[in-house]
Amino acid sequence: MDSSNNFYKILPKVDLHRHLEGSLRLSTIMEIARAHGITIPYKVEPFSSLVQVQASEPYTYQNFLAKFNTLRMFYRSPEVIHRVTREAVEDAAKDNVRYLELRFTPVALSRAERFPLGEVMDWVCESAEKAAKEFGLQVRLIASVNRHESVELAEQVAWLAAARIGRGMLGLDLAGNEAEFSAVPFLGVFKEAHQTGLKLTVHAGEWAGASNVQEALETLNAERIGHGVRVMEDPKTVALACERGTAFEVCVTSNFQTGVVHSLQEHPALKMLNAGLNVVLGTDNPSISQITLSDEYQRACEALGMEHKTLKERILAAAQASFLPEADRVKLMEQLRKELGI
C-alpha cells in the first residue's frame, strides 16, 4: 500500500487493536536471531515469509497464526522485550498515532526463556511508559490471553494485570483460535478481572460466526469486540451490539489476509456502519501484515468507499471507545476534535 498520500499520513490517529507480538521490525528480528544464535535463514526474502504474510501464500487464519509460532522464538532476554516494545511505540508515533492501546500476550513473551510472567509484564510497562514520553504519544496496555491455553494461565495474567492498573495497564483481552476453542471457560476470569477495574475486549466473530460475538457480549460482558465482522450473519446479534454501542475493532487488511473476506472490496466495514454498529479501525499486526494505520485508513476510503468525513468520525469514535478513564478520554476527544475539524 502506498502510504505517501499525505491526507492519511497527517491525520491524528487512534489504534485500539495492535498486538505487540505482531509489531516486530523485520530488521530487529534478524539482529536478535544473529545475537542469540537462532538458526533460521538470514536473507530477508525467505526469512520474511516466516514472520510476514506474503502475496504468494494462502490467505488463511492457519497460515496467519503460524507466523506467531516463529515469533515466539525471539523473546530471549529482558533487553529484547524492552527493545521491541520501544520500537512498536516509536513506529506508531511515526505514523501520527496519538493514542495507542498496545496489547501483548505475557505467556508468549515469557515462553522461550521461561521468564516469570510478572517480570515480563513489568518490562513491557516500563518500556511503553518511557517510549510514550520519548515519542510524544499516549500509550496504554492490554494483557491478552489465548483461548487454546489454560484457564489457570489466564487467571495468573488477569491477576498480574490488575496489580499493574496504575502502571499503564487498562484491560484484558481474549484472543487465539476461536474456531476451535470456546470463550465460556474464561467466564470466571473475565468476571473477576472486571471487578478489579480491568476493561474487557474479546476477539470474536472473525474466524467463527456471529454466535461467538453474542457469547462475548452476553457471557463475558465484553465492552469491545476484536474484529467481529461476522456479526452481520445474525440480525439479533447486530441489534444487541447496536443497543449496547459496542465498539468493533475492525482490522481490514488482517481480515483479508486471514481469509475472513475474499477481497478487500468485500469487507463488511461499511455495511456494519450502515447497520448502526460502532466500527473503529486498527492495525492488528502491522509487521506481519506489512502495513501502517495510514494504510488501513487509505484502504477503508479507497477500497471500501468510506468518505473522509466518516473516517474522521471513526477516529473520534475510537477515542470515545478507549479504555481511558473518563476525564482522560474527554480530553483526548477534545484534542482530536479540534485537530480533525469536527
CATH of the domain at 160: 3.20.20.140
Which pLDDT does position 40 carry in this prediction?
Answer: 65
Instruction: Report yes or no on 1 lying in a domain.
Output: no
- Calculated CA dihedral for residues 123, 202, 322, 223, nearest 10 degrees: -130
Higher-confidence residue: 70 or 145? 145
Among the listed residues 311, 298, 303, the one whose alpha carbon sits nearest the alpha carbon of residue 2: 298
Segment among 29-43, 70-84, 134-148, 190-204 with least mean pLDDT: 29-43
Segment among 65-69, 131-135, 215-219, 248-252 with least mean pLDDT: 65-69
Which pLDDT does position 46 carry in this prediction?
Answer: 64
Instruction: Report yes or no on 195 lying in a domain.
Output: yes
Beta bridge partners of 278: 247
Instruction: Report yes or no on 308 lying in a domain.
Output: yes
Q: 269 and 239 in contact (C-beta within 8 Å)?
A: no
The pLDDT of 74-81, averaged and rounded, is: 94
Instruction: Report yes or no on 52 lying in a domain.
Output: yes
Residue 299 has pLDDT above 90, yes or no: yes
CA separation for the pair 229, 235 (Å, rounded): 13
Instruction: Report yes or no on 257 lying in a domain.
Output: yes
Instruction: Report yes or no on 180 lying in a domain.
Output: yes
Which pLDDT does position 44 carry in this prediction?
Answer: 46
The pLDDT of 71-87, averaged and rounded, is: 93
Instruction: Report yes or no on 159 lying in a domain.
Output: yes
Which pLDDT does position 45 carry in this prediction?
Answer: 57
Q: In the structure grid, which three cell numbers stand for residue 157, read together?
A: 495474567
Q: How confident is the model at residue 3 (pLDDT cuts 50, 70, 90)?
A: very low
The domain of 331 spans 6-340
The pLDDT of 197-205, averaged and rounded, is: 97
The pLDDT of 10-29, averaged and rounded, is: 95
CB atoms within 10 A of CB 290: 17
CA separation for the pair 296, 299 (Å, rounded): 5
For residue range 100-131, list pLDDT tens digits in order.
999 999 999 998 889 999 999 999 999 999 99
Compute the C-alpha angle 249/9/92, nearest 5°.
55
Number of structural domains (the chain) is 1
Q: What is the rounded average pLDDT for all residues in the chain? A: 93
Compute the C-alpha angle 129/313/93, nearest 5°.
25
The residue type found at 280 is V
Phi, psi for residue 280 in degrees, rounded to 5: -125, 155
